[in-house]
Amino acid sequence: MSWAADNKSQPTDFLDLAAVMLKDGHSDRALLALQSVDLKDKKTDLARFYTLQGLAYMNLNDFAAAKDSLQLAIKNGQTDSVIFVYLAQVHYALKAYRDTIQSIDKAGEHGSKAALITLKAQAYWHLKETANAINALDEGQRLYPKDFSFLRRKVFYFVELGLYHEATQLGRQYLKQSEAAAEDYVAIGNALRLSKQYQEALDILEIARLRFPENEVVAKLLAHTYLDQGKLNSAAFILEQAALLNPGLQAEAGEIYRRAGRFHKALTLNESISDQKVKLKQRLSILLALKQFERAANMESSLYRSGVLDDQEVRYALAYALFSSKRFPEANKHLDHLKDAELFRKGTELRRLMEICKTEPWQCV
């Protein structure tokens, strides 16, 4: 026996069933139940029907259908102002930001809830009505003085507006008042870093490093902020310290020391790298930088065993070490494998130099 046949005399039963399905998180089943409702029956509560249907569509992310249903609920007499809360969420998902704001304004006391104030601020922000967006956040702070999410969002608004001094001041205020987590320091510090406000970013991230000395993300972001300024030694030192807790950072610290020209320091860190491929590639580049060509050339068997020679950059580097050690036949053997256009060109130049060394050895002393 079908649901419809069993309930002709009780048109509201399917509405109750749909409501239960929605409460239990089964929105698709709720829609099936609603299909059995007789919309022509004068006893059917159409306002409730369209409200339930709208909520089901919302939960299934069919926001266009949800909007139509919720608007029909209002048209059919839905008077509970919470309907405008749902409409605001649907309009926002559809990027109808003006309609979002209008729905929040119609939501009565619901419109003053923290989540709705944030949604309103975001809608204004998307409409590029920045003053209204910030005013909405100010209202949120006034109504919810212990909810620091409004202050946090204002920091990012100021960063995007290029008001870096104000953003930094507010950021420090937020971090001080809110007992912020490491993630908050990272988010604000990175926003300033991406805006090239390096000193402001460093000020915040250095505090984070003191507060969260074991947080790897803080250390890496601080190091990369120093890198952005060309302060290689500072960046490498921070990563070296962080590597005491996470040895996986030793390779990056060593690479930055190498770039800074501190080759012996880089070589020391290289000894402790556990990933053999990373270790050997870095070691080869450091030995070449130190002009220790014989030691670099003697890495050939290790490079073979690890499979690193599949990387043509590594193969050329080994060929160069062999050339510099005057082991020309071995160097030529590796140059034969080069396919990359730029490396092939460099290889051709090495072959030319080897010929000169053979015919005019005094030039290669």
For residues 303-320, give the mean pLDDT. 94
- The whole-model pTM stands at 0.69
Q: Confirm if 62 and 92 have CB atoms less than 8 A apart.
A: no
Residue in the structure block whose two tokens are 């971090």: 175
Task: Count Cβ neighbours within 10 Å for each residue of 143-155 and write b for 16 or more, e otherwise.
Answer: eeeeebbbbbbbb
**Using alpha carbons only, what angle is made at residue 105 by residues 101 and 106, rounded to the nearest 5 degrees?**
120
Burial class (CB in 10 A: 0-12, 13-18, 19+), 219: buried
Q: Are 243 and 227 in contact (CB under 8 A)?
A: no
DSSP code per residue over 203-262: HHHHHHHHH-TT-HHHHHHHHHHHHHTT-HHHHHHHHHHHTTT-GGGHHHHHHHHHHTT-
Q: Is the pLDDT of residue 53 over 80?
A: yes
**pLDDT tens-digit readout, 78-95:** 999 999 999 999 999 999
Contact 302, 294 (CB under 8 A): no
How confident is the model at residue 43, as a pLDDT? 87
> Picking from 59-63, 93-97, 178-182, 184-188, which range would have the lowest pLDDT averaged per residue?
178-182
The residue-averaged pLDDT of 286-293 equals: 95
Q: What is the mean pLDDT of residues 248-267?
A: 94
What pLDDT, on the 0 to 100 scale, is given for residue 106? Answer: 95
Other C-beta atoms closer than 10 Å to the C-beta of 73 total: 25
Average pLDDT over residues 9-22: 78
| Angle, helix 97-105 to helix 82-93, in steps of 10 degrees | 170
Angle between helix 341-359 and 312-324 (nearest 10)? 10
pLDDT band at 8 (very low <50, low <70, confident <90, very high): very low
In this structure, are residues 207 and 191 in contact, taking their beta carbons and an 8 Å threshold?
Answer: no
**Rounded Cα distance, 326 and 99, in Å:** 76
> For residue 177, what is the DSSP state?
H
- How much is the mean pLDDT over the chain? 91
pLDDT above 80 for 223: yes
Phi/psi of residue 13, nearest 5 degrees: -60, -40
